[in-house]
Amino acid sequence: MRFGIFYEHQLPKPWNEGDEARLFHEALEQVVLADRLGYDYAWEVEHHFLEEYSHSSAPEVFLAACAALTKTIRVGHGIRQVIPHYNHPARTAEGLGTLDIISRGRLDFGIGEGATRLELGGFKIPAREKRALALEAAEQIANMMVMEPYPGYEGPGFSMPCRNVLPKPMQKPHPPMWMACTNRDTIKVAAQNGIGALAFSFLDPKEAETWSEIYYGIIKSDQCVPIGHSVNANLAMVSNFSVHHDRDEAIRRGQEGFEFFSYAVNALVAHDVLPGRSQLFEDFQKSRAASDDEIIAARRAAKYNANGIGTPDDIRQHIRGFQAAGVDQVIFLQQAGRNKHAHICEALELFAAEVMPEFKAQAQEREAKKAAELAPYIEAALARKPRMKPLEDHEIPVVPASRPKAQINETVR
């Protein structure tokens, strides 16, 4: 089992001067700590205009800082908005190549499309076309990272002429590719395209097992036709995260943030928004049906929180459930709502000291066994992949140099 941490950069109102800067710099301190403690991944989303919920609009900048400050933790776009209206595919490929070099080959590349009208409408993206636009762009981004030169492309979502897209990533053929998944349908899409599934839904182990069976069943079938030049057969599940030896204290520290995250995901889709005047956290507080004391009492009666909040023993059982379900990585949502930097660091340290070693000891053997089992299926999948034909030297179009207008007129005569 591998473990990741996950950032939306949430900043509930009211905002005070310096709050955004503090949020980002504390997150960087958390990533440095996670690297030292042996966590495997630091993931960051890309969202635009989602006040309070996510101030992570430039993940490539934050992840570059993470890469420069750390040694072993992998840095992940979880996800990068790949539709050309957000980010031109060539610019994404260039950024990925640069970040993979800066991190010395520690980059993972998750693709996404956005879900809210704030984002899609802000970039004039037709909601019904977003999935097709994202997959089209992702395939071409992979081609750009591999081909020299990239032959050029004419498609529904974008077009560009032949160019050599630089720099190329350190990882060959390119960094592992993932896809954001929120339901069983998107799990199927990820598997059909041979990319890892970042399951951003809070599931119990039983449902996680169903998702795992669906995902790996398709990976092993002829439905798997890779969108990239490698197959990344991995399933990652997001989990809430607050750990303390006192269960009630873990709940006090983490429950409100978890509830705010869940509330905001729905509200940003279902509620009208007035840009620049959001009241997301205020509305969330009004909507809470129970007091903190009642929530704590309910959690105590349940013995432990199955969503990743509780004592080290609670979290150990939570992780074992995911492991038995066939999940490869658990990604901890440790920064949410108004939870505190000091509490996040304490939880990361406690988990690393008392829970992580059990699962780390099994990771390499489990992954080697899985790789051997999947090798023939991955080989078959890559053989099915339709590939863009590389250009022969004589086929590469000449890009004419600029000339003075008078010289051009003379040439025409």
Q: What is the mean pLDDT of residues 360-382?
A: 96
Grade residue 307 by pLDDT with cuts at 50, 70 and 90. confident
- Are 175 and 109 a contacting pair, CB within 8 Å? yes
In eight-state DSSP terms, residue 169 is P
Q: Residue 295 has which token pair?
A: 């929530």
Q: State the helix-helix crossing angle for 341-354 and 312-324, rounded to 10 degrees.
A: 70
Label residue 401 exposed, middle or buried (CB < 10 Å: 0-12, 13-18, 19+).
exposed
Residue 288 has pLDDT above 90, yes or no: no
Element (H, E) at 348: helix 341-354
pLDDT score at 205: 86
Residue 289 has pLDDT above 80, yes or no: no
pLDDT digits (tens, 9 = 90+) for 151-191: 999 999 999 999 999 999 999 999 999 999 999 999 999 99
The whole-chain average pLDDT of the chain stands at 94
CA-only gyration radius of the chain, Å: 23
pLDDT digits (tens, 9 = 90+) for 46-92: 999 999 999 999 999 999 999 999 999 999 999 999 999 999 999 99
Task: Output 201 or 188, whichever has higher pLDDT.
Answer: 188
Q: What is the mean pLDDT of residues 325-344?
A: 96
Grade residue 297 by pLDDT with cuts at 50, 70 and 90. low
Element (H, E) at 332: strand 329-333
> What predicted TM-score, i.e. pTM, was given to this entire model?
0.93
Q: What is the mean pLDDT of residues 297-323?
A: 77
Residue 409 has pLDDT above 90, yes or no: no
Around Cβ 140, how many Cβ atoms within 10 Å? Answer: 27
- Are 75 and 42 a contacting pair, CB within 8 Å? yes
Around Cβ 136, how many Cβ atoms within 10 Å? Answer: 21
DSSP letter for each residue of 299-325 = HHHTSS-TTSEE-HHHHHHHHHHHHHT
Spatial distance between the Cα atoms of 218 and 298, rounded to a whole number of angstroms: 39
Spatial distance between the Cα atoms of 137 and 151, rounded to a whole number of angstroms: 15
Residue 293 has pLDDT above 90, yes or no: no
Q: State the helix-helix crossing angle for 247-270 and 341-354, rounded to 10 degrees.
A: 120
Q: 61 — alpha (psi -120 to 50), left (phi > 0) or beta?
A: alpha
Could you give phi then psi for residue 191, rounded to 5 degrees?
-65, -40
pLDDT score at 404: 79
pLDDT score at 301: 41
Grade residue 204 by pLDDT with cuts at 50, 70 and 90. confident
